[in-house]
Amino acid sequence: MKTKKRVTDPFGNKLKELDKTIELKISSELDDNETVLAQLFANCSDLVVRKLHMFGSIPGMVVYLDVLVDDQLWDDGFLEPLMQPEAASSSSSSHIYEILNFKLASIVQPRIAKNMNEVVQSIVRGEVVLFTQSATEAFSFGLKNKLHRQLEEPATEAVIRGPRYGFIEKLDINLALIRHRLRTPRLKTEKLCAGRLSQTDVMIVYIEDLAEQSVVEEMKKRISSIDMDSVLESGYIEELISDHPYSPFPLMQATQRPDLVSGSLIEGKIAVLIDGSPNVLVLPITFWFGFQTAEDYYSNFIYVTMLRWLRYLFAFLAMALPAIFIAITTFHQEMIPTSLALSLAAAREVVPFPAIAEGLIMEITFEALREAGIRLPRPVGQTISIVGALVIGQAAVQAGIISAPQIIVVSVTGIASFLIPNPGMSQAISIIRFPLMFLAASFGLYGVGIGLICVLIHLVTLKSFGVPYMTPIAPFNPTGLTDTLIRAPWRVMRRRQKQTQRRME
């Protein structure tokens, strides 16, 4: 496997200096700690430092970021039990730890922070840090404000049949959604951290014995070698740990559907959950995964088989139709039926541009309209893009700038690109369309053929975490065909599941 190139950034060095200052011991004097923290958190108006006497006698200091802490928990769960008088015999930290542990049973167990670095880490994560007089350790409590939105149906992966809720931006809840479906201790979760500034939690989830352990190790290695200031979305991870970062094709599936993730885990795949992102990465995937949806497994298999072929067909059209149209109308006119050839010629009579220019103008306009539609509020966006395309198309034809057949081709291409369930796959295919059009314009169908072969070569050399991208077609694996060329009924696919179970035992 390839080794990842380190991403260098100008802020790196500055941050490392900052790291050094934090490598401080915790002072036994509360005031010293306060000054250090006040320095570090200068100009942070949301930092709260409160001095108090725990259990009526022991002097302590509580530090936290106001915005991140849950008020209710703070009052009832933490402050109240802490302020109750208690006959504390000594103020040694181990003793206090015991008391805290016992007293604050209603909230989480306190963790011990051994140096200033850990303290700062805890504070920025929304924990409450408690210093006590004459102790060189601090205690941190997770009183995190559970800030999250309602579970909703993911807008990009809507289904007719199937569960309605999708992942949200909170890692814990996302994990819970998976655990709800896979009730087994074999579901392993390993937490990592990425991004120097963002300190994003990244969790690798897999089922023991089903997932390839070497892939899990490789994943861990790649994620921990990420050298970035911030990791804000799963897209960062996807690009940084990919086997072939320069390929347009998605080598990981980003999904918001817990059912899809659970299903993939059972197939031995690995999921990567990223805090702050509702998109969970599933890997390794194959090319065919880009044409499957979760709903495929809930609906009638005959219908789904037809749907899949429809998707393959339209994916091909989305990629090659404009190119083929250009090739045939400018190179191989004898292939067009005579009457159609006459009407095509008639339609082109007034158009000033060559077919390739026509095609490019309309394709680019279409992509622009699509992009414009995404940014607008949903109801407006859809109307804009459809109406825009129609109006521009109609007007362009009537003005004699673009020929009507070309508009039809572009529209079919557009519809076809929406038929591909995976947005990453859809984007990849839209990008390939343009070089193919150029090849078609200079070499006709020969160029298109050459272009498609190039795409094929690229696809067969791709690997997603050791799995060849075109499996099970190349390399050929007959059992895998039951879920690619067709969607076999569950009776048949169950056999495959049994095989994986046997591997588990």
Partner 1 sequence: MKMKLKGIQVFWIILIMDLGMTLVMTVTPSLQAKQDAWISVIVAGGIATLIALLATQAAKLYPGQTFFEYSHLILGKWIGKAVIVIYLVQWYTITPIILRQFSDLVQVMLLHGTPKEAVMLLMIFVIVYANYAGGIEGIARCGEVLGPIILLMIGLVLIASTNNIQWRNILPVYVDSGMTGILGGALAPASYLGHSVEYLMFAAFLTQQRKGALYTFGAVLTSVFFVLITTLMVIFTLGVNLSSNTWYPFFEMTKKISLFGFIDNFDAIPVVIWLASVFVKFAVMLFLMSYGTAQFLHVRNWRNLIWFIAPVMFVFALIPQDVTEATSNYLQRYWVPFAMPVNMLGLPLLLLVVGKWRQRKRPAAADHA
Partner 2 sequence: MTRILRTFRFLVIFVILGLTTGCWDRNEMDDLALVMASGIDLTDDGQLEVTLQIALPTGIPSAVQSGGSGKKSVIVISASGKNSSEVTGKLQQQLSRAIYFGHRGVIIIGEQFARHGINQVVDTFTRFPESRSNSYVLTTCGGTAKEILNTPYQLELIPGIGINKIQSSKLSFPVKIDEFLNALSSQDRSPVTAAIRVIHKGTDKETFTIDRAAVYRRNQLSGYLSSDELKLLRWWTGGGHHLRFTVQVEPENEQYGGTVGVELLQSGMKMHLVIKNDLPEVKVSLHATVRAIDNDSKLDLSKVNHMKRVETLLSKQIQSEAESMLTHVQKVLQSDILGIGEDVHIEYPYAWKKMKDEWLDIFPEVPVTVDAHIKIERTGKTHSPAHKVKTD
343 binds, among partner 1, partner 2, none (CB under 5 to 8 A by kind): partner 2
Q: What are the backbone angles phi and psi of residue 50, rounded to the nearest 5°? A: -125, 130
Single out the segment in contact with partner 1 by CB under 8 A; choices: 80-88, 117-125, 245-253, 335-343: 335-343
Nearer to partner 2, 441 or 470 (CB): 441
- The residue to which tokens 């034809």 are assigned: 397
Nearer to partner 1, 220 or 244 (CB): 244
CB of 449 to partner 2, least distance (A): 14
CB of 467 to partner 1, least distance (A): 13
Residue 486 as a binder of partner 1 (CB under 8 A): the answer is: no
- The count of chain residues that interact with partner 1, using the rule CB under 8 A, is 27
Of 446, 481, 482, 486, the one binding partner 1 by CB under 8 A: 446
Nearest to 51 by CA among 29, 19, 18: 29
Whether the CA torsion 295, 300, 304, 305 is positive or negative: it is: positive
β-pair type (280-283, 270-274)? antiparallel
d(CA 48, CA 38): 10
Angle, vertex CA 338, rays to CA 360 and CA 408, nearest 5: 30
Residue 151 as a binder of partner 1 (CB under 8 A): the answer is: no
CB of 452 to partner 1, least distance (A): 9
441 binds, among partner 1, partner 2, none (CB under 5 to 8 A by kind): partner 2
Whether the bond into 10 is cis, omega within 30 of 0:
no
Of 35, 456, 503, 504, the one binding partner 1 by CB under 8 A: 456
Residue 83 as a binder of partner 1 (CB under 8 A): the answer is: no
Instruction: Give residues 466-485 in contact with partner 1 (rule: CB under 8 A).
Output: 468, 470, 473-476
d(CA 414, CA 363): 9
Residue ranges that bind partner 2, judged by CB under 8 A:
329-331, 333-334, 338-339, 341-351, 354-355, 397-398, 400, 404, 441-444
CB of 476 to partner 2, least distance (A): 32
Q: By the 8 A CB rule, do 361 and 353 touch?
A: yes
108 binds, among partner 2, partner 1, none (CB under 5 to 8 A by kind): none
Q: What is the 3-state secondary structure (H, E, C) of 85-117?
A: CCCCCCCCHHHHHHHHHHHCCCCCCCEEECEHH
Token representation of residue 102: 């016992």
d(CA 131, CA 114): 11
**Residues in the site for partner 1, rule: CB under 8 A?**
331-332, 334-335, 337-338, 443-450, 453-454, 456-458, 460-461, 468, 470, 473-476
